[in-house]
Amino acid sequence: MTRRTLIAALLLVAAVPAAAAAQQQAPEQPAASSAPAAEAPKPSAEAPKPAAKPASGPTFWGFLNIQYSRTDAPSPAKDTSSFELRRARIGARGDLLPQVGYAVLWDGADSSLKDAYGALKKLAWLPGLELRFGQWKTPFGYEQPESDTKLLWVNSSYAVASLARGPDSRDLGVGVNGKWAVGGGVGVEVAASLVNGAGPNKKDDLDEKNVWARGGASAKLGPAALRVGGSYGYGHQVSSTGANARFDGAGAVNAGAVPATNDDTYFWFQTYGADATLDSPWLFVAVELIQSERDLQVHAGTQDFTRRDVTARGWYAGLYGKSPWNVGPVFRAERYDRDRGTGDNLNERYTVGAYADVVPVNARLIFNYELDRSDRPVRTGNRAIAFAQVIF
């Protein structure tokens, strides 16, 4: 077991007793029965044993996202426009036992499995903590683990899409999630996942796994709610599998000491983040700052490779207004520098628009206009997006 993998395992193990200790100070909820134990009647010898609590049946749900977009591409590229079925998802969730739950989410738009996990919860020896195994959105910051149905800027921010996750927002592994109230309207939360690092429905050929984690606190400020957190990620990822589309491994050799083809690109990374959200009756605000330090190795041939250190940094600040008529403005500003050691690679984008809810969240229309002010080599052009959502 490598040093990084050992550290990852220790992080997950350390989260359990710490979370349990916090829960002992402030139980999440009272016991099932409010009567003192001493007053409870004793069962007679002839009385049958109470039946086990039945499992809850599955709850089915889903949503549709339909989108039209037009991009004014910089010359010499051509302008484009497109209708697309962005998402067409159906899921099921429920409990096999009060302590054993599950969730499954399938997307017909790209024919792929999204969420698929089992969970151990409501355990007496781990109050308030949920243990997961399977596939879900990895925890880092605000935007990355948030449900797609709640975000009013249609496209993920550059920094989150590039630095706060692996190749996809979901990955396969084990994890913990917990929330606890500590009194006075203050709460604490923790989430950590140990995952492959290859994205959903995939294994990888790297011995080292990826860790994504976030810890935070929340507080009630009159009618508003403040939430702040810090996040951390590290691991080993394949960036490109080369011409044969298969990871061959650094310095790998075939049987008979014949060198293997090795033209892959991969990197080790450490990523840090801070986020804050303020949710009030009239306004929602979210800000996030992320920095990632990467040891990038590009292989060419069997043993030769180039290596360099890359530091990437990005941030965004977004808000939307609220009103009694379920309509409001949408705005986000963001910058992303993929390599602070070189120039002409800065993404800068401003998203303006509005939303209208026929039924809040469940039936929603969104308009975004993205103004692209990126450096010329990475500019994709201004984009107008009309987006419709229905949740059932």
Q: Convert the pLDDT of each residue in 270-289 to its tens digit.
A: 999 999 999 999 999 999 99
Instruction: Specify whether the CB–CB gap between 231 and 261 falls below 8 A.
Output: no
Residue 64 has pLDDT above 60, yes or no: yes
Q: What is the pLDDT of residue 299?
A: 67
What separation in angstroms does the CA of 279 have from each of 223, 312, 344, 362? 9, 29, 36, 19
Q: Is residue 118 in a domain?
A: yes
Q: What is the pLDDT of residue 248?
A: 59
Q: Is residue 108 in a domain?
A: yes
**pLDDT, average across residues 14-24:** 38
Q: Model-level pTM? A: 0.81
Q: Is residue 48 in a domain?
A: no
Question: How many distinct structural domains can be found in the chain?
Answer: 1
Residue 15 has pLDDT above 60, yes or no: no
Q: What is the pLDDT of residue 44?
A: 36
Q: Is residue 49 in a domain?
A: no
Q: Is residue 27 in a domain?
A: no
Q: Which of 251, 254, 246 is nearest to 302 (CA)?
A: 251
Task: Give the confidence band of 253 by pLDDT, cuts at 50, 70, 90.
Answer: very low
* Nearest-angstrom CA–CA distance, 93 and 170: 18
Q: What is the pLDDT of residue 275?
A: 98
Q: Is residue 141 in a domain?
A: yes
Residue 78 has pLDDT above 70, yes or no: yes
Q: ∠ CA 107-118-127 to the nearest 5 degrees?
A: 130
Q: What is the pLDDT of residue 203?
A: 86
For the ranges 17-21, 78-82, 167-171, the lowest mean pLDDT is seen at: 17-21
Token pair recorded at residue 304: 């030769």
Q: Which domain holds residue 231?
A: 3-22+59-391
Q: Is residue 53 in a domain?
A: no
Task: Name the strand (E) or helix (H) holding 9.
Answer: helix 3-25
Phi–psi pair at 52, nearest 5 degrees: -65, 145
Mean pLDDT of all residues belonging to the chain: 84
CATH number for 258: 2.40.160.10
- Say whether the peptide bond before residue 76 is cis (omega within 30 degrees of 0): yes
Q: Is residue 43 in a domain?
A: no
pLDDT digits (tens, 9 = 90+) for 323-381: 999 999 999 999 999 999 999 999 999 999 999 999 999 999 999 999 999 999 999 99
pLDDT digits (tens, 9 = 90+) for 286-313: 999 999 999 987 766 655 667 789 999 9
Share of the chain above pLDDT 90, in %: 69
pLDDT digits (tens, 9 = 90+) for 122-151: 888 888 999 999 999 999 999 999 999 999
Residue 249 has pLDDT above 50, yes or no: yes
Q: Which residue has the higher pLDDT, 202 or 259?
A: 202
